[in-house]
Amino acid sequence: MRTRKYIIIACLLILFGACDEDNLIERPLDFLSPEISYVSPTDIEAALVPNYALLRDLNDGVNNVLMHSGTDLCMSARSPATSRLGDYRVGLIPSSGVAIYFWREYYSMIFNANVILSRIDDIEYASQETKDLHLAEARFFRGYAYRSLANLYGGVPIVLEEISSPRRDFVRSTLAETLDQAIQDLEFAAANLPSVNEVAADGRLNNAAASHLLAELYITAGDLDKAVSAASAVIDDPAIGLMTSRFGRRAGDEGDPYWDLFQRFNQNRSSGNTEGILVLQEEFNVPGGTDIISGRGPDFRYERFYGCLYWFLNDPDGEKIFFGPTSGNGGRPVGFIRPTPYFTHTIWGGGNWDIDLRNHERNIQRDWVSDNPESAFFGQNISDFPQSWFDGLSEQDTLRDFYPNVTKITTKNDHPAEVLADPETGRMANTSGSTLTDWYLIRVAETYLLRAEAYLAQGNAIAAAADINVLRNRAQAIPVDPGDVDIDYILDERMRELNYEENRRMTLSRLDLLYDRTVMGNPFSGLTIQPFNNLFPIPFSEIERNTLETLEQNPGYTN
């Protein structure tokens, strides 16, 4: 009788409980879902991690090679007339992997942010400050993604809510609307993120990074006063400043402050570096970081992809010029992407070749000394310009195996012992090739150049020149005269200062100058690029599956 009584009570509880609308919502318990994954601030903290990973992946030297190649900065070192946008006619079409990849990755960042923003109000926070911080991080990522999509594709569909079921009705917003959304998100981030010296850990988002991006967005949107103000907020921050004195762990070696910026362990503020604003973390030999055995993992691959294959060179007798790849010669690169002659030679003219520290041999290696005793050229200098060693170089030698190496991509004479096959000689292990330093996404040198761009657009060439000369003075280069400052000069200065750090394609597309600069500076891509290539095509796969509305293609492309 007692058992029957309990069954009746249980049934009544179930019956009355079923009248509660909340209990009609399915909450799966045997697998992860948003309903059970976002219940505490710790869950939101964990949900932000994938976007930090995406930010890193998008700038790792592998996935972003086409943000450099096919521009005035870089070209393919292998089959340069056809590969890596050497030929825009076949390399950039609506079904191209490059167009699909960046669209997918940036919308993944937006999706992740929207899930957080859609669910955060259901979570109880001990303080509004912590909640606002999480909101600011999520909105920074969403704003960063819309800013990047706008630069690459123009106006794109704006999605501000979590998508929980398939949609086939997306419509493109205008460029102005896309920029405005990015600005709204980053304004919130700038107002609620901590300062650069108050972040919880190296690599976390901060208000200066948001203000830096706002300066760029305001320029694109035509709000130049706000652009100057946003850039000035970063430059005038007492915790931020250009490094003009030697610093860090190799400050006692021969070098200069620009060289110091790129030495191992020198990127974060603990080294005394006040120039870095947002630094992507490398984490060698740490679980989840670059793997100790392979030398790879979620690592930066600039050394491997951008460095020349110098150690592959043969002399006229068939002997190797070098006994192998060594730390002292720049590691173990394999020569996929090379700088254009415009970058390696043209932009250093005007009397600056021998005095601009950014063109010094320690910052752009142009000379190597043969170290193979079996070669007749043992001990001889092998020079980039002019070719001084022999006339037997093939086209492949000069394109892939031997060209100037920007040393920020490697850690010359400072590779960890774990990636060396022979620590005594510095010979690299076969699995090496990673760039084993943290990597700048934003540093204040670029903020100066953004403010110079805004000043120039306002017609204030004197102020623009003053900002540019802050960098040129640090590099001991000849100061620029205000009368010589135009947008091309600023773009050349960006190349001298930022080269592989900046997302060159986004900069040129943002300014609608990708076509002009590539024709001028890239001997292969410049032959096939067309003005409409300034923007990526909308991926055909996205257009095809969007059956309930029309997702318009960018002009010039055929689906």
pLDDT in tens, 196-229: 999 999 999 999 999 999 999 999 999 999 999 9
In this prediction, residue 393 has a pLDDT band, given cuts at 50, 70 and 90, of low
- CA–CA separation, 524 and 75 (whole Å): 8
Which two tokens mark 169?
A: 């009705």
Quick one: 307 and 423 in the same domain?
yes
pLDDT in tens, 416-435: 999 999 999 999 999 899 99
Quick one: 212 and 246 in the same domain?
yes
Encode 101-136: b = buried (16+ Cβ within 10 Å), e = exposed. Answer: ebbebbbebbbbbbbbbbbbeebebeeeeebebbbb
Quick one: 212 and 333 in the same domain?
no
Are the C-beta atoms of residues 498 and 275 closer than 8 Å to each other? Answer: no
Give the mean model confidence (pLDDT) for residues 222-240.
98
* Residue in 284, 295, 280, 260 with CA at minimum distance from that of residue 408: 260
* Residue in 422, 468, 510 with CA at minimum distance from that of residue 151: 510
Residue 111 has pLDDT above 80, yes or no: yes
Residue 292 has pLDDT above 70, yes or no: no
What pLDDT sits at residue 35? 64
Quick one: 270 and 312 in the same domain?
no
What is the share, in percent, of the chain residues with pLDDT greater than 70?
90
Give the mean model confidence (pLDDT) for residues 239-264.
98
Looking from the CA of 347 toward its CB, the CA atoms found within 13 Å total 24
Give the mean model confidence (pLDDT) for residues 328-345.
96
Residue 16 has pLDDT above 60, yes or no: no
What pLDDT sits at residue 558? 94
What pLDDT sits at residue 291? 76
What count of other Cβ atoms lies within 10 Å of the Cβ of residue 381? 11
pLDDT in tens, 41-90: 999 999 999 999 999 999 999 999 999 999 999 999 999 999 999 999 99
Quick one: 425 and 448 in the same domain?
no
Quick one: 268 and 226 in the same domain?
yes
Quick one: 271 and 325 in the same domain?
no
* Residue-number span of the structural domain to which 459 is assigned: 193-281+438-472
Percent helix, strand, coil in the chain, to 5, is 45, 5, 45
Residues 6 or more apart in contact with residue 247 via CB below 8 angstroms: 257, 260, 266, 271, 272, 273
Give the mean model confidence (pLDDT) for residues 246-253.
97
In a domain, 218, yes or no: yes
Residue 237 has pLDDT above 90, yes or no: yes
Instruction: Verify cis geometry, omega within 30 degrees of 0, for the bond prior to 333.
Output: no
What pLDDT sits at residue 442? 98
In a domain, 384, yes or no: yes
Quick one: 320 and 393 in the same domain?
yes
What pLDDT sits at residue 45? 96
CATH number at residue 221: 1.25.40.10
Quick one: 338 and 427 in the same domain?
yes
In this prediction, residue 481 has a pLDDT band, given cuts at 50, 70 and 90, of very high
Encode 323-345: b = buried (16+ Cβ within 10 Å), e = exposed. Answer: bbbbbbbbbbbbbbbbbbebbbb
What count of other Cβ atoms lies within 10 Å of the Cβ of residue 500? 25
What pLDDT sits at residue 7? 33
What pLDDT sits at residue 314? 87
In a domain, 101, yes or no: no
What pLDDT sits at residue 5? 36
Residue 359 has pLDDT above 60, yes or no: yes
Quick one: 331 and 276 in the same domain?
no
Residue 546 has pLDDT above 90, yes or no: yes
What pLDDT sits at residue 317? 85
pTM of the predicted structure, to 2 decimals:
0.92
In a domain, 349, yes or no: yes
In a domain, 272, yes or no: yes
In this prediction, residue 380 has a pLDDT band, given cuts at 50, 70 and 90, of confident
Provide φ and ψ at 441, rounded to 5°.
Answer: -95, -40
In a domain, 198, yes or no: yes
What pLDDT sits at residue 462? 98
In a domain, 199, yes or no: yes
What pLDDT sits at residue 2? 39
What pLDDT sits at residue 385? 55
Are the C-beta atoms of residues 183 and 170 closer than 8 Å to each other? Answer: no
Quick one: 456 and 427 in the same domain?
no
Q: What is the residue-averaged pLDDT of the chain? A: 91
What pLDDT sits at residue 122? 94
What pLDDT sits at residue 399? 87
What pLDDT sits at residue 146? 98
What pLDDT sits at residue 283? 86
In this prediction, residue 296 has a pLDDT band, given cuts at 50, 70 and 90, of low
Residue 108 has pLDDT above 80, yes or no: yes
Listed range (125-129, 190-194, 389-393) with the worst mean pLDDT: 389-393
What pLDDT sits at residue 391? 58
* 390 or 335, greater pLDDT: 335
Quick one: 197 and 268 in the same domain?
yes
Q: Alpha carbon 314 to chain centroid distance?
A: 35
Q: What angle do CA 183, 238, 451 make, to 5 degrees?
A: 45
- CA–CA separation, 36 and 174 (whole Å): 37
Provide φ and ψ at 76, rounded to 5°.
Answer: -70, 140
**Number of compact structural domains in the chain:** 2
pLDDT in tens, 119-175: 999 999 999 999 999 999 999 999 999 999 999 999 999 999 999 899 999 999 999
Residue 236 has pLDDT above 70, yes or no: yes
In this prediction, residue 294 has a pLDDT band, given cuts at 50, 70 and 90, of low
In a domain, 372, yes or no: yes
Residue 191 has pLDDT above 70, yes or no: yes
What pLDDT sits at residue 288? 77
Are the C-beta atoms of residues 86 and 70 closer than 8 Å to each other? Answer: yes
What pLDDT sits at residue 32? 52
